[in-house]
Structure 1
């Protein structure tokens, strides 16, 4: 899913020269979108991903940071909203149900009651499972207060595990890197061996204001 590239040969003559100079220019063919907030003439906004649906959480600066850190196979593709508390209500069961037919990576975005934004990228859609799933592409991230990304440490493979009453990400003999309850109302975040992360929110325990899950189409 890496954006395609093509090479263009440009020939031109320098002043006083009878032989042409040849320059090879690589052009990246990438899907582009207008800015979330400003005019369509800026170079930076051309690089933002296409959001097929409206986001209650994501702003332009969130998109700029996240798009540079998601795996190459997901870059250059539109983002589609799979689940949101604003649209589907606050239920972990509904979140799982919305992803039942998806076989692509997903990006979770959380806004808590302190207006802090953080979340996780999962190589696999969230589901109920009797075992941990996911790959080393999975990571946690936070904008609280500045953007940080926490990738797989290699210590263990406790990437994601889904229960009917909770969703867990990261672990290793202690608290989870990210934990959400069945009502998607309360959550917690602690340092864990899987990602060697710091807590994603300002407080270990937080209240969810909005939650969205996006995939790449």
Structure 2
């Protein structure tokens, strides 16, 4: 249940956020810290800004997403890229908002995770973010499935992604503690035919980071049924194959991505698995 604030209390949110997280900055104050995030809170009418730390953005986002909360009408969390896009649409110099000095520094920030990940650390996020499509950059990642939370079931993945209209990131850890997976341009679903686009790619931290993009040789990106999920194909095996219980998996070289096996062994046992979706303005 969300927390509601009276109109009078809205004016105190600005002070509240500063006191709650002293490492955030208001417009024109303070100097650059070690790392700046991609998100900031903007007071719509007063043009005041607060940089959002990675650990606090999810909590503040839940607060401001409550439609009955007056603060939601006054404050908003927007991405750096969205701020720049809005400014580029302004035709009058008088209407152009001055951009806070620290916003240029936010470009190097890690993606914001709205939920805790058992598999992704900062070193993983940094590598993956550099290769994500431009349409996903600067937006938070939300956990939609985890074996640690939802159990091991491919059907649950399909159920949890059924309402999505956004790309998904599949992350796997096998029994040899190798982390690998795939970015799919489309959410996972049951389909008679392959789906997806050339944005889809494979990755592996095994132990060095490797990425395998679409080769252009075929379009066997993703396909799924109740028995298994398959990514890549056209050769002797799939680039990534998962069984219905999310227990057994396999990874072979295939023409779609011209990849090496993502795991240490072509056949592997799944230890943990997560599916993330990248929220953007079109998916809210």
Measured against the shorter chain, the TM-score band is 0.7 to 0.9
Higher helix share: 2
Stretches of 4+ aligned residues off by more than 4 angstroms: 25-32
Shift of 1:216: 1.1
1:72 to 119, 129, 134: 134
Flag the 1:125–1:2 CA change in 2: closer, same or farther, 3 A.
Answer: farther
CA distance in 2, matches of 1:70, 1:83: 20
Give me the TM-score of the superposition, normalised by structure 1.
0.81
Report the Cα distance in structure 2 between the residues aligned to 1:188 and 1:206, rounded to whole angstroms. Answer: 6
Indicate the structure whose relative CO is greater, using CA pairs within 8 Å and at least 6 residues apart.
Answer: 1
| CA-atom RMSD in angstroms | 2.4
Aligned partners of 2:81 and 2:227: how far apart in 1? 39
- 1:187 CA displacement: 0.3
| Aligned residue number for residue 81 of structure 2 | 3
2:208 aligned residue = 146
- Gaps (5+ residues) in structure 2? 1-78, 89-98, 280-284
Specify the alignment match of 1:165 in structure 2.
Answer: 227
Which of 77, 82, 87 aligns to 2:149? It is 87
| Superposition map of 1:1-217 within 5 A | 3-4=81-82, 5=84, 47-217=109-279
Q: What's 2:27 paired with?
A: none
Query: Deviations 1:117-174 (Å, cap 9, x if unpaired)?
Result: 0000000000000000000000000001210100000000000000100000000132
Bigger fraction of residues in strand:
1
Matched positions, count: 188
Q: TM-score, normalised by structure 2?
A: 0.63
